[in-house]
């Protein structure tokens, strides 16, 4: 009984949002109705400790387009959104915050871009009224740092407010890593992406659920999950220390042989300390390189993602993920073999 026109899924993570949730639903519902009749709204209750859960029950009872997912405890924004992605059935999937900082009316423009053929339409904030100077400053530092260190660029001033095509969401679901920074992962995925400028409003009610601690965790996930640079720093430090210790050793030997300025046993101890110190750093770096590779293997990301397939024998491939043409199969290596035919 699936309608034949494309389905639009909207995922709303909610953590203690009792002050805004009703108003959010009204505005979101109105905005979506103006776009299409075929939509679903998935509210993910991320272990709220206030009345959010009960309010969502009421909202759901009144409207058949609403689905509610309640997590067993607070797992954090990124996991809540990932859970929603797992349940969304739409051909296009939108992520939006519950606090109306991302205006639901912008979704219509996102859908237009999607119909033009873009796979990811990400909201880019041009105006962040009502956010503290500290928040703006930390956010800017966050993106600077990530883009310095990380292997995938994250567009400046983007949050999670975005529309994604089914093929992109399927790709995200195949990335099984536990530490998830969706905006970096979406960037890694590729496909056709476009920015959509919008002004970020003030939080409608309630307070930010992102204290500094959570922001730092997010930044760390962005850096560590997308970069081996911290490991490379260890290796470089090791090499630098070893070079320094060679100088130290020459100095100690010179002191011993050329001057009277030495204590019995001092030369040997000094050289040993320097040598061992330098070697330890190098070994740490080498081990770090291996751990880095184990880490990237353990993440088990797909090797590549296919955006389009032309002229393939559909019947031969129908065993893999039926229904959508724009993806490779479950086993990346198998699909590497099959698409090189």
User: What are the tokens at 282?
Assistant: 């190098």
Q: 201-230: which residues touch Mg ion (CB under 5 A)? A: none
Please report how close the Cβ of residue 141 comes to Mg ion at its closest, in angstroms: 18
Residue 16 touching Mg ion (CB under 5 A): no
User: What are the tokens at 155?
Assistant: 């567009």
Which member of 196, 209, 219, 225 binds ligand UDP (CB under 6 A)?
Answer: 209
Q: What does 262 interact with, of ligand UDP, Mg ion, none (CB < 5 to 8 A by kind)? A: none
Strands 158-165 and 92-95 turn out to be: antiparallel
Q: Which is nearer to Mg ion, 14 or 185 (CB)?
A: 14
User: What are the tokens at 42?
Assistant: 């998935």
Residue 165 touching Mg ion (CB under 5 A): no
Residue 82 touching ligand UDP (CB under 6 A): no
Which member of 7, 11, 13, 111 binds ligand UDP (CB under 6 A)?
Answer: 13
Please report how close the Cβ of residue 60 comes to ligand UDP at its closest, in angstroms: 17
Residue 24 touching Mg ion (CB under 5 A): no
In the block, tokens 């559909």 appear at: 314
User: What are the tokens at 98?
Assistant: 């519950």
Distances (CA, A) of 204 to 20, 94, 117, 135, 282: 7, 20, 33, 17, 53
CA distance 107 to 30: 11
Residue 193 touching ligand UDP (CB under 6 A): no
Q: CA triplet 81, 83, 86: central angle to 5 degrees? A: 110
Q: 93-132: which residues touch ligand UDP (CB under 6 A)? A: 97-99, 101
Q: How many CA atoms lie within 13 A of 249 on its CB side?
A: 15
Q: Which is nearer to Mg ion, 17 or 165 (CB)?
A: 17
Q: What does 251 interact with, of ligand UDP, Mg ion, none (CB < 5 to 8 A by kind)? A: none
Which member of 10, 17, 191, 278 binds ligand UDP (CB under 6 A)?
Answer: 17
Residue 204 touching ligand UDP (CB under 6 A): no
CA distance 165 to 82: 15
Q: What does 13 interact with, of ligand UDP, Mg ion, none (CB < 5 to 8 A by kind)? A: ligand UDP
Residue 42 touching ligand UDP (CB under 6 A): no
| b/e per residue 126-141 (b: at least 16 CB within 10 A) | eebeebeeeeeeebee
Q: 67-106: which residues touch Mg ion (CB under 5 A)? A: 97, 99, 101
Decide: 231 and 158 in contact? Cβ < 8 Å: no
CA distance 171 to 285: 33
CA distance 11 to 96: 6
Q: What does 172 interact with, of ligand UDP, Mg ion, none (CB < 5 to 8 A by kind)? A: none
Q: Which residues bind ligand UDP (CB under 6 A)?
A: 13-15, 17, 46, 74, 76-77, 80, 97-99, 101, 208-210
Q: Which residues bind Mg ion (CB under 5 A)?
A: 97, 99, 101
């Amino acid at each position: 009984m699936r309608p034949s026109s494309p389905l639009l899924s909207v995922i709303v993570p909610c953590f203690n949002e009792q002050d805004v949730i009703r108003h959010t639903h009204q505005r979101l519902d109105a905005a979506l109705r103006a776009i299409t009749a075929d939509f679903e709204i998935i509210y993910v209750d991320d272990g709220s400790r206030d009345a959010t859960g009960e309010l969502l029950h009421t909202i759901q009872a009144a409207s058949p387009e609403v689905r509610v997912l309640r997590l067993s405890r607070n797992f954090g924004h990124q996991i809540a959104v990932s859970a929603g992605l797992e349940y969304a059935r739409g051909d296009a999937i939108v992520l939006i915050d519950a606090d109306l900082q991302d205006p639901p009316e912008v979704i219509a423009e996102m859908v237009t871009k999607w119909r033009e053929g873009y796979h990811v339409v990400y909201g880019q904030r041009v105006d962040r009224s009502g956010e503290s100077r500290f928040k703006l400053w930390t956010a800017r530092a966050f993106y600077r740092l990530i883009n310095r260190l990380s292997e995938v660029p994250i567009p400046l001033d983007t949050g999670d407010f975005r529309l994604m095509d089914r093929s992109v969401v399927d790709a995200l679901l195949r990335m099984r890593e536990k530490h998830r920074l969706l905006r970096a992962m979406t960037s890694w995925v590729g496909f056709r992406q476009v920015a959509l400028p919008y002004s970020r409003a003030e939080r409608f009610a309630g307070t930010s659920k992102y204290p500094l601690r959570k922001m730092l965790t997010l930044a760390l996930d962005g850096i560590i999950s997308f970069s081996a640079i911290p490991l490379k720093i260890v290796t470089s430090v090791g090499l630098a220390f070893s070079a320094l210790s060679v100088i130290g050793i020459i100095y100690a030997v010179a002191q011993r042989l050329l001057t009277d300025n030495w204590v019995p046993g001092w030369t040997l101890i000094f050289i040993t300390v320097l040598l061992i110190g330098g070697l330890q750093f190098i070994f740490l770096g080498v081990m770090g390189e291996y751990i880095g590779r184990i880490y990237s293997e353990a993440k088990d990301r797909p090797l590549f993602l296919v955006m389009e397939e032309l002229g393939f024998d559909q019947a031969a491939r129908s065993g893999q993920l039926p229904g959508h043409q724009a993806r490779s199969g479950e086993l990346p290596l198998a699909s590497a073999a099959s698409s090189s035919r």
